[in-house]
Amino acid sequence: MKKIFLMLVIFSLFSASSYGEKAEEILKIIQEKVKTVNSYKADFSLKVDSPTGEMLMQGNILFKREDKLKMEISMPNIPTATQLTISNGEIMWQYLPFLKAASKVDLSTLKKEFGESYFAYAKEDISQPLKEVKEESLRYSGKEKIGMEECFVLEAEPKDNSRQEISFSRVKVWIDINSGLEKRVVFYNSEGKEVLSRTYENISVNIPIEDKEFEFSPPEGTEIMDMTEETKGYIEKEINVFPSPSPETSPKL
């Protein structure tokens, strides 16, 4: 915050105001674009530079409104370390075949108690490219190309991640101008070093995807854990949103 204040002193108030308005204008454009996205598929890669060393992951993602998601992740250096995240809009599963273990979360319960805020947990959705940043801190940096696609580039402060092992101080996001979908995101530490990056490629938008792609039945012998209650606590801590009383639990007057 001190750095932002000093920048405001150096530049004129008019320039600072115009800069903020530009970011707000771009945000509105992105929001209008993603409203037209009903489904997509994409390949992605993730790189994390942690205190214990570099970690690489790759995978693919399918998405269809409302809230249908299928994401397969693998680690090139550890072939057995694969993970499937899949949601039919009501139940989200995370399945680890190498451990013969699966967790499930009742999304209908989260929707009822948290409304829109449950999205922070429930989706790895690139039609929400700014889900990990404080929107009030957005700064528009111009346009850049990733491959053949021109992108808006925005920078911002990350949402609080004090409970995570890796500390972030700045986020840079590249968003496809035509679709409003996230193309790339980079997280930096306080020294300006890149510590986490995600890149999406081979993105296809508004393609037909059958609902059966999002159904999952754990294989026989899988250990199953219901993580719905734990997830409620996670959401409350992570985004500081508390559920409104339901009709059943509201005090009688």
CATH superfamily of 37-239: Lipoprotein localisation LolA/LolB/LppX (2.50.20.10)
Place of tokens 């090139």: 76
Compute the distance between CA of residue 203 and CA of residue 218 in angstroms, rounded to an integer.
29
Compute the distance between CA of residue 57 and CA of residue 40 in angstroms, rounded to an integer.
20
Determine the pLDDT at residue 2.
42
Compute the distance between CA of residue 152 and CA of residue 140 in angstroms, rounded to an integer.
8
Predicted confidence (pLDDT) at residue 4 exceeds the cutoff of 60: no
Q: Over range 63-75, report the average pLDDT.
A: 91
Q: Over range 18-28, report the average pLDDT.
A: 73
The DSSP output letter for 91 is: E
Tell me the per-residue pLDDT of 115-143, one tens digit each, with 9 for 90 and over: 776 765 555 678 888 888 888 899 999 99
- pLDDT-derived band of residue 221, with 50, 70 and 90 as boundaries? very high
Contact 119, 238 (CB under 8 A): no
Longest pairwise C-alpha distance within the chain: 66
Q: Letter for the amino acid at 77?
A: N
1 vs 223, higher pLDDT:
223
Predicted confidence (pLDDT) at residue 162 exceeds the cutoff of 60: no
Determine the pLDDT at residue 108.
87
53 vs 40, higher pLDDT:
40
The C-alpha angle with vertex 56 and arms to 147 and 62, in degrees rounded to 5, equals: 60
- pLDDT-derived band of residue 15, with 50, 70 and 90 as boundaries? very low
Tell me the per-residue pLDDT of 53-68, one tens digit each, with 9 for 90 and over: 788 999 999 999 888 9
Distance of CA 120 to the CA centre of its chain: 7
Q: Over range 6-18, report the average pLDDT.
A: 34
Place of tokens 């346009």: 143
Q: Over range 183-187, report the average pLDDT.
A: 95
Compute the distance between CA of residue 160 and CA of residue 142 in angstroms, rounded to an integer.
26
